[in-house]
């Protein structure tokens, strides 16, 4: 039996559902619906099954992560602003034995100082940031490699 569930949870934090209102120089020109379509088509091309979720609530994200821990579901997570301060999300990521990849559309290290800290990175297998929507494509490729090990 495989150690991980075959479905990958792609979990997204606050304000990513309103990419249409955010700075296109930072986050690119795809709106949320287009990003979801893009992630689904990248997954399909790689032969991966994904469930894409977004929430503005730290509670909901924490509960989704607890569910993933329970079901051994691999996770690609863009915790958005929670990246920088949510110990609850960090602790929930730590519960997951399947691979976890952190992604960001922008490169937080090239932005304001408060974005230079990720409390999630230390409990993820790795982080991919700064490639716009392609960060998700690269994360799916990395996940596929981790799962086929
Ligand atoms: C983000 C970067 C975070 O600093 C920011 O709060 C976001 C999006 C990104 O994808 O680039 O909301 O996670």
Laid out side by side, the sheet with 7-12 consists of 49-54, 7-12, 75-78, 100-104, 126-129
Count CB atoms within 10 A of the CB of residue 147: 17
- Closest atom of ligand 1 to CA, residue 22: 12
User: What pLDDT score does 73 carry?
Assistant: 98
Instruction: Please say if the pLDDT value at position 2 is more than 50.
Output: no
Nearest CA to ligand 1 atom 8: 80
- Closest atom of ligand 1 to CA, residue 15: 12
Residue range 65-77: average pLDDT? Answer: 98
d(CA 55, CA 67): 15
d(CA 56, CA 122): 22
Residue range 6-16: average pLDDT? Answer: 96
Provide the percentage of residues in the chain whose pLDDT is more than 70: 97
**Chain segment 95-110, per-residue pLDDT in tens:** 999 999 999 999 999 9
Residue range 89-100: average pLDDT? Answer: 98
- pTM of this prediction? 0.97
Which segment of 1-5, 9-13, 32-36, 139-143 scores lowest on mean pLDDT? Answer: 1-5
How many angstroms separate the alpha carbon of residue 145 from the centre of ligand 1? Answer: 25
Nearest CA to ligand 1 atom 3: 80
- List, chain by chain if needed, residues with CB within 6 Å of any ligand 1 atom: 15, 78, 80-81, 83, 104-106, 108, 115
How many angstroms separate the alpha carbon of residue 8 from the centre of ligand 1? Answer: 21
* Distance from chain centroid for Cα 7: 14
How many angstroms separate the alpha carbon of residue 22 from the centre of ligand 1? Answer: 11
d(CA 115, CA 100): 20
Query: Looking at the annotation, which residues are catalytic?
Result: 27, 104
Instruction: Please say if the pLDDT value at position 77 is more than 60.
Output: yes
The H-or-E segment that residue 101 falls in is strand 100-104
Residue range 37-49: average pLDDT? Answer: 98
CA atoms within 13 A on the CB side of 71: 13
Residue range 76-102: average pLDDT? Answer: 98
């Amino acid at each position: 039996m495989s150690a991980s569930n075959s479905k990958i949870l792609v979990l997204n934090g606050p304000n990513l559902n309103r990419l249409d209102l955010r700075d296109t120089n930072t986050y690119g020109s795809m709106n949320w619906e287009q990003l979801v379509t893009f992630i689904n088509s990248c997954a399909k091309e790689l032969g991966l099954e994904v469930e894409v979720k977004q929430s503005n609530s730290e509670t909901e994200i924490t509960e989704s992560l607890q569910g993933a821990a329970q079901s051994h579901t691999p996770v690609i997570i863009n915790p958005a602003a929670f990246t920088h301060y949510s110990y609850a999300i960090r602790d929930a990521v730590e519960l997951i034995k399947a691979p976890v990849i952190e992604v960001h559309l922008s490169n937080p290290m090239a932005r304001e100082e408060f974005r230079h800290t990720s409390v999630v990175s230390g409990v993820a297998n790795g982080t991919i940031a700064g490639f716009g929507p392609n960060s998700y494509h690269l994360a799916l490729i990395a996940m596929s490699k981790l799962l086929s090990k």
